[in-house]
Amino acid sequence: MPATIVLGAQWGDEGKAKIVDFLGADAEVVVRFQGGANAGHTVKVDDQTYIFHALPVGGINPNTLCVVGNGVVLDLESFFAELDDLTERGLDVGEGRVFVSNCAHVVMPYHKALDQAAEASKGSGAIGTTGRGIGPAYRDKIDRTHGIRVMDLLDTERFRDRLRGAIAEKNQLLTQIYDAEPLDAEQIIRDYLVFAERLRPLVTDTSVLLNEALDEGKRVLFEGAQGTLLDVDHGTYPYVTSSNTTAGGACSGAGVGPTRIDEIIGVTKAYMTRVGNGPFPTELLDDEGERIRELGQEYGATTGRARRCGWFDATIARMSSRVNGLTNLALTRMDILDTVETLKLCTAYRLDGEVLEEFPADPRVLDKCTPIYEEVEGWCAPTTEARHYDDLPDKAKAYVARIEDLSRTKVSLISVGAQRDATIRVDE
Ligand code: IMO
Ligand code: MG
């Protein structure tokens, strides 16, 4: 801290929420800067499990301000359902604690309908999106014709006009391209004007709020969603999400300059998972993959889909360190590997007889790569009770050290369980 970005260094679901929650204990502000309700950030506190989709995980902490930045695409249905759920569970997530950027774009019902229709029409070429309207909402933002920002929603006349303009085009797409049902503009207007009044007291210029917090020396955590390999520029395009999930996205998506950032933590599992389609060089399609999926209960928090599992890929870790300028890694889910006798680390790829050290940007090249593995003896001992680095079995320490070496990035945090205290600060 003071300004720390926590982001995914793999394909999402790395355990970012657990790390944000752990570090958030002494953060005054936590901000989401990209993505939307495609995120499923799970935190376990005592016997309670919270899954955040729109709100930053900081919501659990009574002293933390929660900010939804300008780079987020905001799904108001999901957002208010989340606020209601948290309120029922005794958390204060009202005015004065939750702030929403006036510049964030709103995910509309037609974005979800188009996301689902487009995916269905692609057959085996589908991206495997979460169906939350993310791509279509960002498309409207970038396209500049029909995007609806929070500030537009709060201006009733302007909203009506923009919505009617948008729906004319969206219904044509839905009915004529996708053979789907049209949506009722007047119904959407009625529903969203109700949302607008509920949203109004939370809306502000969050860039001003965040920069003022930093000026006052407050600690601000930037909570990434998805992961580096899902970044629209640096990920495994086109099997990516529609935002910049990498460190630069934290600055543009929060309205904070890069010179203000002190620390960038890449969260990475001790193995790898991916949900959705697209390349995954170290994927395990055998019993070993099934075993890791069961040990780790690797099923999606947003869609419930089974996650694909594979070995830790250092080629990817190096790429992630490079594009994000990581200052350190948080290594999660170490405990899941406690019973695995032999582990594998992918050190580089082999391509046409040559060794490739850098992750290739071209998916056709990636397809031809085979991982080069190094076998590492498993520690075969429980790590869940470890609270200091020295509590870890020697072989587990060796695994961490090898990951640091291969990734060329220091591991500063290790998670050995879902609970907040099951976390090791390496240099303590
Ligand atoms: P968190 O924040 C894992 C994946 C989808 C799909 C691709 C595009 O919980 O780590 P989208 O709906 O964004 O257009 O889908 O991205 N994806 C995620 N995978 N964790 C996530 O979020 C994800 N959000 C999107 O599965 O492959
Ligand atoms: Mg998730």
Q: E strands within 34-184? A: 41-45, 48-52, 65-68, 73-74, 98-101, 105-106
Q: E strands within 63-102? A: 65-68, 73-74, 98-101
DSSP assigned state of 176: I
CATH of domain 3-100+203-264: 3.40.440.10
Span from the CA of 175 to the centroid of ligand 1 (angstroms) = 27
CB-CB neighbours of 63 under 10 Å: 11
* Of 298, 295, 419, nearest in space to 43 by CA: 419
Number of H helices, E strands in the chain: 13, 20
Q: Is 254 left (phi over 0), alpha (psi -120 to 50) or beta?
A: alpha
Span from the CA of 338 to the centroid of ligand 2 (angstroms) = 23
Q: Is the CB of 130 under 6 A from ligand 1?
A: yes
Give the pLDDT score at 308.
97
DSSP assigned state of 346: E
Domains 3-100+203-264 and 105-199 equal at CATH topology level = no
Residue stretches of the chain with pLDDT short of 50: none
Q: Which atom of ligand 1 is nearest to the CA of 8?
A: 10
CB-CB neighbours of 303 under 10 Å: 15
Span from the CA of 250 to the centroid of ligand 1 (angstroms) = 17
Span from the CA of 129 to the centroid of ligand 1 (angstroms) = 6
Q: Whose CA is nearest to atom 26 of ligand 1?
A: 276
Is residue 191 annotated as part of the catalytic site, yes or no? no
Q: Is the CB of 228 under 6 A from ligand 1?
A: no
Spatial CB neighbours of 413, under 8 Å, sequence gap ≥ 6? 19, 22, 265, 328, 329, 330, 331, 423, 424, 425, 426
Q: Is the CB of 422 under 6 A from ligand 1?
A: no
Domain ranges for the chain, please list them.
3-100+203-264, 105-199, 269-425
Which tokens in the block code for residue 164?
A: 């009617």
Which tokens in the block code for residue 38?
A: 């495609």
- Residue in 41, 53, 105, 234 annotated catalytic: 41
Q: Is 21 helix (H, G, I), strand (E, B) or coil?
A: helix
CB-CB neighbours of 400 under 10 Å: 19
Q: Whose CA is nearest to atom 13 of ligand 1?
A: 241
Q: Is the CB of 392 under 6 A from ligand 1?
A: no
Q: What's the CA gap between 250 and 232, in Å, rounded?
A: 14
Task: State which of 41, 82, 230 you would mutate to test the pocket of ligand 1, scoring each by most atoms of that ligand within 8 A of its C-beta.
Answer: 230
Q: Is 267 helix (H, G, I), strand (E, B) or coil?
A: strand
Task: State which of 130, 229, 299, 303 you would mutate to test the pocket of ligand 1, scoring each by most atoms of that ligand within 8 A of its C-beta.
Answer: 130
What tens digit of pLDDT does each residue of 19-71 get?
A: 999 999 889 999 999 999 999 999 998 899 999 999 999 888 888 999 999 99
CA atoms within 13 A on the CB side of 211: 12
Q: Which atom of ligand 1 is nearest to the CA of 135?
A: 14
Q: Whose CA is nearest to atom 15 of ligand 1?
A: 129
Q: Is the CB of 128 under 6 A from ligand 1?
A: yes
Question: Which H helix or E strand runs over 49?
Answer: strand 48-52
**Topology, domain 269-425:** Adenylosuccinate Synthetase; Chain A, domain 3 (3.90.170)
Q: Which atom of ligand 1 is nearest to the CA of 131?
A: 12
Spatial CB neighbours of 21, under 8 Å, sequence gap ≥ 6? 43, 45, 57, 60, 61, 420
Which tokens in the block code for residue 267?
A: 């969260």
Task: State which of 19, 38, 232, 283 you would mutate to test the pocket of ligand 1, scoring each by most atoms of that ligand within 8 A of its C-beta.
Answer: 38
Q: What's the CA gap between 211 and 3, in Å, rounded?
A: 10
Which tokens in the block code for residue 66?
A: 């929660």
Q: Is the CB of 230 under 6 A from ligand 1?
A: yes
Is residue 234 annotated as part of the catalytic site, yes or no? no
Q: Is 214 helix (H, G, I), strand (E, B) or coil?
A: helix
Give the pLDDT score at 25.
87
Q: Is the CB of 137 under 6 A from ligand 1?
A: no
- Residue in 13, 140, 313, 335 annotated catalytic: 13
SS3 per residue for 286-323: CHHHHHHHHHHCCECCCCCCECEEECEEHHHHHHHHHH
Q: How far is CA 334 from the centre of its chain?
A: 20
**Topology, domain 105-199:** Adenylosuccinate Synthetase, subunit A; domain 2 (1.10.300)
What tens digit of pLDDT does each residue of 191-220 get?
A: 999 999 999 999 999 999 999 999 999 999
Ligand at minimal distance from the CA of 276 is 1
